[in-house]
Structures are given as C-alpha cells and as structure tokens.
Amino acid sequence: MDVDIMLRVDGSQHRLAVDTRTTLLDALRERLGITSAKKGCDHGQCGACTILLDGRRALSCLALAVAHQDAEIVTAGGLGQGGLHPLQRAFIRHDAFQCGYCTPGQIVSAAGMLQEAAAGWPSAVSEDLDADDVVLDDEEIRERMSGNLCRCAAYANIVPAIAEVAR
Amino acid sequence: MKPFRYERAADVSGAVALLAAEPNGVFLAGGTNLVDHLRLGIAAPDLLVDVRQLTSGRIEELPGGGVRIGAAVPNSDLAADRVIRRRYPVLSQALLSGASGQLRNLATTGGNLLQRTRCPYFQDLTTPCNKREPRSGCAARDGYQRDHAIFGASEQCVATHPSDMAVALAALDAVVRTRGPGGERTIPVTDLHRLPGEEPERDTVLEHGELITAVDLPPLAVAANSRYRKARDRASYAFALVSVAAALDVADRAVRDVRIALGGVAHKPWRARRAEQALRGGPASEESFRAAAEAELAQARPLPGNAFKVPLARNVIVRMLMDLAGEQR
C-alpha cells in the first residue's frame, strides 16, 4: 500500500511514494540512494542508522517513513556539507574508527548528544540531576553515547574525539 | 512484513473509532518497540492508527500540586523537565537509565508503558511462547531464565515487564488516563499491567481501542527525596536484572513515609507494599531496611536460573534506603 510522502534530507526536498512498511532507513538508502546512514542490526540495538530527525538524534531503522511525512532529516553526509564538520575532523585526527561502518552513526549521534548537553539535559551518570550546566567528562560521554556500538571497539579513540569537540 | 494500512485521525476520538472498527489494528506512537515487532513478525496488524501527534506533548502542573504528562511526551523531554527533576527525581533517573539517547527521543510516555517483554523466547518465532501464541508452551520454563520473574509468575508465563519508567510511576502512585470506545477512565499505574495468570497474551487491563491520553503524578512530598537504582549486565543500555524506585522521608530517625517499587522481577512493575508496611513508623536503620526487604522477598518464587535475584533485590533495596536516609540527614 503506497503513500505519497515528502522528505527533506540534508537540505534537499524529495517527493516519493513508499509502501507503508518502509522505514526511514530503507527510504534513504534504497529509494533515495543516500547511504551514509548504515543498516547494522535493523532492530534498534546498534545505532549505525542514527540520523537527526527534526533536529534530534533518532534511529531511522525504527521509524516508519509514512509516520514522518514532511520530516527534516540530517545524515552524516549532510553534516559535512561545505567542508568537514568539527566532529568529522576530530574523528580523523583521533583515528576514531577501524572499519568505519558505525562511524556515520557515531558522528550524527555525537552531534545530537552535544545539543542535548548544551540544553542542560542530565544523564544516568550525572551527579547533580538538576544542574544547569553539563560537564562532558569521559564517563558522561560514554553513557550518552551508549546507544552506538563499535564492533572494532574504537571507543578508546571515539571518546577523546568527542571530548575534544565538546570542550 | 505483512502489508498493513496506515491511518491518521483528526482527534483522539477519531483514532479510537478507527481502531474500534478494526479488530486486528494497533495504535502507533514512537514505534521503537512496535516497528521491531512488525519486522520480527511478532505483531502482524492489518491497520496502524498513528497517534504520535494526537495526544498531548505537554507536561503541565495541575492546580492541586500534581503534574499531568501528555501521552505523546518523549521520554527524553520528560527526563529533562525541571519540575520532574526537582519534585520527582526518581522518574527522571528511571527514564535516563533506560534505552539510549536516540530511543528516548522517539519513545513516548504512553508507548513506554505499553512496550512488551524482552523475553528472548517471546521475540523468537521459532520457540514456543504462551504470550506470543497462546497455548503453545513456555520455552523459558526449561531455558534461559536470567531476565525472568521471581514474583507473581504463572505456569504459562515467567516474563518480566521491561520498562524502567513504569517502575518509578508505580512507586509515585501515578494514574493513567485513557479514552476508549466506552469513554474515559483512570487507572492507577499499579493496576495497569496484569500478572500473567492464564492469559499471558494480555499485558494490561486496557480494552481494544483504548488509548492512553496522559499520566497524572499526584502531589507527593516524599518524592522530593527519591531515586532509581538499576542492576544490569552492562553499565548502560541494558534491561534491568533488578531495579528499585524508592522515596523515603525520615524524621527523628523514624520512617515517616516510604514508597518502593521493583523492576525486572515480575510481569508488571512490582510495588513492594509489604516492605513499605514493615518500614512505616519504624526505625530508619540498616537492620530494619534489611528486614523490610526480606519481608517483601518472602513471597518470591525464583526459577533455578534466576535465584540470584532474591539476594540481589534485597541488597539493592537496602543500599537504596541507606542512601536515601543519608541524603536527608
């Protein structure tokens, strides 16, 4: 059962007809040829498909495209438009990947996470739940990024890369 | 994935009517659990009625001092809300200890309550499961039992409810507001979820087509000194083996008021009323905290594979109450 929808992805408008079963991830990859969001587990457990959905980080494998008509989507590819994003530069500088498959999801997730921290959102490891300012030490970064898995275990370099941008 | 129709309605009553007319239909909110179930084949509806933008996305203070949380409020917004952080910190902490940042941004308050068990056999179509397919059997009876219930289970089902948020809401005496084909009603969160009994396929007391529209938190002074603690197999992004939501008020070294609910131990958030009763009015000491935890756990009927949860729950409860008593000093 096809439905006509509109998606704005990395600044470009796309009109397409999708089967109601299509996820945002499949719409991006299979229909629009935008492949920077990766399909890892396809069950919401790995974070490789992370996008910014209407400004917030979200898992595109668990979002039906019909339920997000007119959504504004940013992928890792879109973050880097007009030169590398500071997070992308930091990941390169810190060698924060091995195979690279989880990297676009890590970078988009980190971008969303930095906005959440700037808005004063606490995390499960925040000592003072009601603090106005969030200090992103390594423990905070690890907790806030726990939804992004790296099977190469590049965490030892991912955390300092994000910490550098957070400073 | 089986094909399905997708519909939106102009308002809540329209959505309820759409679903009432389709016995094999379901509501869709954030989709973080349902979309996975569609893909796995655990859910195979003919109709999805999208309610994500229909119910309120606001958190409002009520005239009597309580708070009303719209069913569409994302888990992340609820956890970050200043009123919740200050007056009901246990709720904020419970939300933050669940899922991941990406999931909390999509998942809603109503949907979190209605998420289904993560029992591996429920999620695996190749194994018997009375909850997924009534009268097919229970693979957990002789299988993996680490995540399973120690309270209130039945021969048919030993699954646990996975929500952290619901455990905090149970401790806080929160009330769910619903709209269904028969009109509106309110249900205490402690009565929303069922024990499995003979009908493990039914997670809650909700009727078909009944939609959660909001959750009300009562004014509750003791909640200002409240916390959530979660024991799990990883430091983050894992479901609870045992969790505890508690609030404590101590005056003159005696317990003036206390609320305790446990997660990861039953088919529903487990309000520890026996422990509360043992504590109220008594001394705020480690010895009495331990006795109260043991009074609650005397009802536990663990399986061979999860007997560790009994001492674990006792220790988590005692440590939590010690921390809360220390905070107040």
CATH number of the domain enclosing B243: 3.30.390.50
A60 touches chain B (CB under 8 A): no
Mean pLDDT of all residues in A69-80: 94
Rounded CA separation A142/A119 (Å): 18
Contact A56 B96 (CB under 8 A): no
With tokens 């530069």, the residue in question is A89
Query: In this structure, are residues A115 and B80 in contact, taking their beta carbons and an 8 Å threshold?
Result: no
Mean pLDDT of all residues in A17-39: 98
Residue B211 lies in a domain: no
Q: Which of A1, A146, A148 minimises the CB distance to B5?
A: A1
Q: Supply the Cα-derived Rg of chain B in whole angstroms.
A: 20
Tell me what pLDDT residue A81 has. 77
What is the SS3 assignment for chain A? CEEEEEEEECCEEEEEEEECCCEHHHHHHHHCCCCCCCCCCCCCCCCCCEEEECCEEEEHHHCEHHHHCCEEEECHHHHCCCCCCHHHHHHHHCCCCCCCCCHHHHHHHHHHHHHHHHCCCCCCCCCCCCCCCCCCCHHHHHHHCCCCCCCCCCHHHHHHHHHHHHC
* Residue B57 clears pLDDT 90, i.e. is over it: yes
Closest-CA residue of chain B to A121: B80
CA A103 to chain centre: 9
List the Cα angle B227/B237/A119 in 5-degree steps. 70
pTM exceeds cut of 0.95: yes
Query: In this structure, are residues A61 and A25 in contact, taking their beta carbons and an 8 Å threshold?
Result: yes
What dihedral do alpha carbons A112, B233, B116, A102 form, nearest 10°?
A: 40
Tell me what pLDDT residue B124 has. 97
Distance from CA of A130 to the nearest CA of B (A): 6
- CA separation (Å) from B179 to A102, A153, B13, B71, B306? 42, 47, 8, 12, 38
Tell me what pLDDT residue B328 has. 72
Name the token pair of B38: 């569609």
Rounded CA separation A52/A76 (Å): 9
CA B132 to chain centre: 19
Mean pLDDT of all residues in B246-260: 97
Superfamily of domain A2-75 in the CATH hierarchy: Beta-grasp domain (3.10.20.30)
Report residue B166's pLDDT band, with 50, 70 and 90 as the boundaries.
Answer: very high
Chain A interface, mutation test: which of B87, B102, B327, most A Cβ atoms within 10 Å?
A: B102
Closest-CA residue of chain B to A105: B102
Q: What phi-psi label fits residue B317: left (phi over 0), alpha (psi between -120 and 50 degrees) or beta? A: alpha
Distance from CA of A46 to the nearest CA of B (A): 10
Q: Which of B39, B100, B106 minimises the CB distance to A146?
A: B100
Mean pLDDT of all residues in B33-56: 96
Residue B125 lies in a domain: no
CB hemisphere CA count around A16 (13 angstroms): 22
With tokens 């990395």, the residue in question is A10
Tell me what pLDDT residue B94 has. 98
Distance from CA of A81 to the nearest CA of B (A): 23
Chain B interface, mutation test: which of A23, A128, A146, A159, most B Cβ atoms within 10 Å?
A: A146
Which residues constitute the domain of residue B285?
222-328
End-to-end CA distance of chain A: 48
Contacts of A52 in chain B (CB under 8 A): none
Rounded CA separation B198/B138 (Å): 12
Rounded CA separation A77/A62 (Å): 20
* Residue B23 clears pLDDT 80, i.e. is over it: yes
Tell me what pLDDT residue A80 has. 81
Q: What is the DSSP letter of B179?
A: E
Contacts of B1 in chain A (CB under 8 A): 21
Contact B105 A64 (CB under 8 A): no
Tell me what pLDDT residue A82 has. 82
Domain count, chain B: 1
Tell me what pLDDT residue B251 has. 95
List the Cα angle B289/B291/B295 in 5-degree steps. 115
Contacts (Cβ under 8 Å, ≥6 apart) of B308:
none
Closest-CA residue of chain A to B75: A121
A133 touches chain B (CB under 8 A): no
Contacts of B99 in chain A (CB under 8 A): 147
Report residue B59's pLDDT band, with 50, 70 and 90 as the boundaries.
Answer: very high
What rounded mean pLDDT belongs to chain B? 97
* Residue B70 clears pLDDT 80, i.e. is over it: yes
Name the token pair of B167: 């455990």
Chain A interface, mutation test: which of B100, B108, B115, B123, most A Cβ atoms within 10 Å?
A: B100
Q: Supply the Cα-derived Rg of chain A in whole angstroms.
A: 16
Query: In this structure, are residues B40 and B125 in contact, taking their beta carbons and an 8 Å threshold?
Result: yes
Mean pLDDT of all residues in A90-94: 98
Closest-CA residue of chain B to A143: B236
Name the token pair of B263: 């997660």
Residue B20 lies in a domain: no
Contacts of A119 in chain B (CB under 8 A): 80
Beta-ladder partners of A56: A53
Residue B323 lies in a domain: yes
Contacts (Cβ under 8 Å, ≥6 apart) of B186:
B175, B176, B177, B178, B216
Residue B240 lies in a domain: yes
Tell me what pLDDT residue B329 has. 60
- Of A149, A59, A39, the C-alpha closest to B33 is A59
Contact B3 A43 (CB under 8 A): no
A3 touches chain B (CB under 8 A): yes
Contacts of A59 in chain B (CB under 8 A): 32, 102-103, 106
Mean pLDDT of all residues in B261-281: 98
Rounded CA separation A2/A15 (Å): 13
* Residue A150 clears pLDDT 70, i.e. is over it: yes
Contacts of A50 in chain B (CB under 8 A): 102
Q: What is the interface pTM, i.e. ipTM, of the complex?
A: 0.97
Q: Residues B287-328: pLDDT tens digits?
A: 999 999 999 999 999 999 999 999 999 999 999 999 999 977
Contacts of A42 in chain B (CB under 8 A): 39
Neighbour-count burial of B198, counting CB atoms closer than 10 A to its CB (0-12 exposed, 13-18 middle, 19+ buried):
exposed
The boundaries of every CATH 3.10.20.30 domain in chain A are 2-75
Rounded CA separation B143/B155 (Å): 14
Rounded CA separation B48/B116 (Å): 17
Residue B146 lies in a domain: no
Rounded CA separation B140/B121 (Å): 7
A47 touches chain B (CB under 8 A): yes
Tell me what pLDDT residue B327 has. 77
Taking one residue from A and the other from B, the number of pairs with CB-CB distance under 8 angstroms is: 112
Distance from CA of B117 to the nearest CA of A (A): 15
Tell me what pLDDT residue A1 has. 82
CATH number, domain A86-166: 1.10.150.120
B162 SS3 class: coil
Distance from CA of A19 to the nearest CA of B (A): 8
Backbone angles phi, psi at A140, to 5 degrees: -65, -45
Tell me what pLDDT residue A114 has. 98
